[in-house]
């Protein structure tokens, strides 16, 4: 990963290369950097657990660092 972005919360970055992620509702796909995949996965888990503070923090981070991907995956 070339650019280090401060993550919005503690999460584990599992991937070494970009990963294709699909919006579960529309099926539209985007490529995400490993740190973005970790944040996205945490957001999705937080929503399942109704942890809206974590979800909101992650979405704010996504809007700042990956606005186009945010619009496809999380808006």
Integer Cα distance of 19 and 15 in angstroms: 8
In a domain? residue 64: yes
- The reported pLDDT for the residue numbered 51 is 98
Higher-confidence residue of 2 and 72: namely 72
In a domain? residue 15: no
Integer Cα distance of 16 and 24 in angstroms: 23
Integer Cα distance of 47 and 26 in angstroms: 18
In a domain? residue 5: no
| Residue 17 confidence (pLDDT) above 50 | yes
Please report which confidence band the pLDDT of residue 66 belongs to, taking 50, 70 and 90 as the band edges: very high
Integer Cα distance of 1 and 47 in angstroms: 27
Range of the domain at 64: 22-73
Looking at the structure of the chain, the number of domains it has is 1
């Amino acid at each position: 990963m070339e650019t280090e972005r401060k993550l919005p919360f503690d999460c584990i970055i599992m991937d070494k290369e970009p990963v294709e992620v699909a919006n579960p509702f529309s099926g539209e796909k985007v490529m995400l950097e490993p740190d973005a995949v970790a944040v996205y996965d945490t957001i999705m888990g937080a929503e399942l657990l109704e942890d809206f503070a974590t979800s909101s923090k992650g979405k704010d981070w996504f809007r700042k660092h990956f606005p186009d991907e945010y619009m496809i995956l999380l808006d």
